[in-house]
Structure 1
Amino acid sequence: MTSSQLLTEPSRLRRRFGSRASGTDGAPAKRPRLYALDGMRLFAALSVMSFHWTAYVGIDGIWQGITPKQALPALNRVAAYGWLGVELFFVISGFVICMSCWGKRPGEFFISRVVRLYPGYWAGIALTTTVVLGLKQYARHTAGDGIDASTVLGNLTMLQTPLGMRHIDGVYWTLWVEMRFYLLFAIVVALGLTYRKVVAFCGIWTILAVLAPQAQIPLLTTMAMPNESPFFIAGIGMYLMYRFGQNLLLWGIVGFSWILALTRLTAIKEVYVSVLGHGLSWNVMAAVVTLAFLLVLGAALGAFNRIQWKWLTVAGALTFPLYLIHQEVGWTLIHFLLTHGLGVSAALVVALVSMLITAYLIHRVVERPGSKVLKNALDRSMATLRRSSDEPEPVRR
Structure 2
Amino acid sequence: MEERHRLKVLDGLRAIAILLVMGYHYFVRWTPPVAPDNFYPYGGFGAHFWLFEYGDLGVQIFFVISGFVISMTLFRCRTIGHFFWKRFARLFPTMLICSVLSFFILHLLPQNIFIPQVRDFIPSLTFSDPIIWSKIFDVPFKAVDGAYWSLFVEVKFYFWISVIYFLVGSRLFFRSVASAFGGLVIFYVLARALDFHHLWAIDFIFVIGALPWFVAGIGFYALYADASSRMAWVLLVESVVAIAVLRLGTHIGTIAPYLALAFSFFVFLAMMKRPAWVAWLGYPPLAAIGVASYSLYLLHQYIGVAILDIVRNAFGPESPLLSVLLAPTLVGVLILISLAIYHYWEAPAKDFLLGLRLTRPAILRGSGASERSDNAP
Normalised by the length of structure 1, the TM-score is: 0.76
Counterpart selection for 1:199 from 170, 175, 193: 175
Q: Distance in 1 between matches of 2:118 and 2:323?
A: 35
The amino acid that maps onto 2:98 is: G
Q: Does residue 1:157 correspond to 2:138, yes or no?
A: no
Give the corresponding residue for 2:69. Answer: 96
Alpha-carbon displacement from aligned partner over 1:120-155 (angstroms, at most 9, x marks no partner): 1111101111121111x3352xx11xx332222342
Q: Does residue 1:239 correspond to 2:221, yes or no?
A: yes
The amino acid that maps onto 1:156 is: L
Displacement after TM superposition at 1:195 (Å)? 3.5
Displacement after TM superposition at 1:78 (Å)? 3.1
Q: Distance in 2 between matches of 1:59 and 1:125?
A: 26
Question: Quick one: structure 1 residues 262 and 298, their matched pair in 2 at CA, closer, same or farther if it must change by over 3 Å?
Answer: farther
Q: Does residue 1:124 correspond to 2:94, yes or no?
A: no
Q: Distance in 2 between matches of 1:318 and 1:139?
A: 28
Counterpart selection for 1:317 from 267, 288, 291: 291
Following superposition of structure 1 onto structure 2, how do residues 170-319 of structure 1 map, counting pairs within 5 Å? 170-191=146-167, 193-212=169-188, 214=191, 216=198, 219-265=201-247, 267-269=248-250, 282-304=254-276, 307=279, 309-311=283-285, 313-319=287-293
Give the corresponding residue for 2:39. Answer: 62
Alpha-carbon displacement from aligned partner over 1:292-336 (angstroms, at most 9, x marks no partner): 333233324454587254555423211111111110011122234
Higher RCO (C-alpha under 8 Å, 6+ residues apart): 2
Q: Does residue 1:50 correspond to 2:23, yes or no?
A: yes
Percent of pairs with identical residues: 23
Q: Distance in 1 between matches of 2:267 and 2:218?
A: 14
Question: Quick one: structure 1 residues 262 and 384, their matched pair in 2 at CA, closer, same or farther if it must change by over 3 Å?
Answer: farther
Alpha-carbon displacement from aligned partner over 1:84-112 (angstroms, at most 9, x marks no partner): 11111111111111112213112221111
Alpha-carbon displacement from aligned partner over 1:145-185 (angstroms, at most 9, x marks no partner): xx332222342212243323211111111011100111012
Residue correspondences, number = 338
Q: Distance in 1 between matches of 2:57 and 2:261?
A: 7
Q: Distance in 2 between matches of 1:55 and 1:239?
A: 33
Q: Distance in 1 between matches of 2:182 and 2:147?
A: 26
Unaligned segments of structure 1, at least 5 residues: 1-30, 273-279, 388-397
Give the corresponding residue for 1:24. Answer: none
Unaligned segments of structure 2, at least 5 residues: 135-140, 316-320, 367-377
Normalised by the length of structure 2, the TM-score is: 0.79
Q: Distance in 2 between matches of 1:352 and 1:255?
A: 36
Give the corresponding residue for 1:362. Answer: 341
Question: Quick one: structure 1 residues 55 and 372, their matched pair in 2 at CA, closer, same or farther if it must change by over 3 Å?
Answer: same
Which protein is bigger by CA-based radius of gyration? 1
Q: Distance in 2 between matches of 1:383 and 1:222?
A: 40
**The residue matched to 1:327 in structure 2 has which SS?**
helix
**The residue matched to 1:268 in structure 2 has which SS?**
coil
Q: Distance in 1 between matches of 2:228 and 2:175?
A: 13
Question: Quick one: structure 1 residues 44 and 340, their matched pair in 2 at CA, closer, same or farther if it must change by over 3 Å?
Answer: same
Alpha-carbon displacement from aligned partner over 1:236-288 (angstroms, at most 9, x marks no partner): 111111111134332122112112123334x313xx6xxxxxxx761234323
The amino acid that maps onto 1:212 is: Y
Assess if the C-alpha contact under 8 Å between 1:206 and 1:229 holds in 2: no
Q: Distance in 2 between matches of 1:126 and 1:59?
A: 28
Q: Distance in 2 between matches of 1:361 and 1:218?
A: 40
Q: Which is further off, 161-170 or 233-242?
A: 161-170
Give the corresponding residue for 2:330. Answer: 351
Assess if the C-alpha contact under 8 Å between 2:72 and 2:221 holds in 1: yes
Assess if the C-alpha contact under 8 Å between 1:88 and 1:292 holds in 2: yes
The amino acid that maps onto 2:21 is: V
Alpha-carbon displacement from aligned partner over 1:35-91 (angstroms, at most 9, x marks no partner): 211101110011011001001123844325x63x2x33563x431100111111111
The amino acid that maps onto 2:94 is: G
Question: Quick one: structure 1 residues 288 and 313, their matched pair in 2 at CA, closer, same or farther if it must change by over 3 Å?
Answer: closer
The amino acid that maps onto 2:352 is: V
Question: Quick one: structure 1 residues 385 and 319, their matched pair in 2 at CA, closer, same or farther if it must change by over 3 Å?
Answer: farther
Question: Quick one: structure 1 residues 130 and 159, their matched pair in 2 at CA, closer, same or farther if it must change by over 3 Å?
Answer: same
Question: Quick one: structure 1 residues 287 and 369, their matched pair in 2 at CA, closer, same or farther if it must change by over 3 Å?
Answer: closer
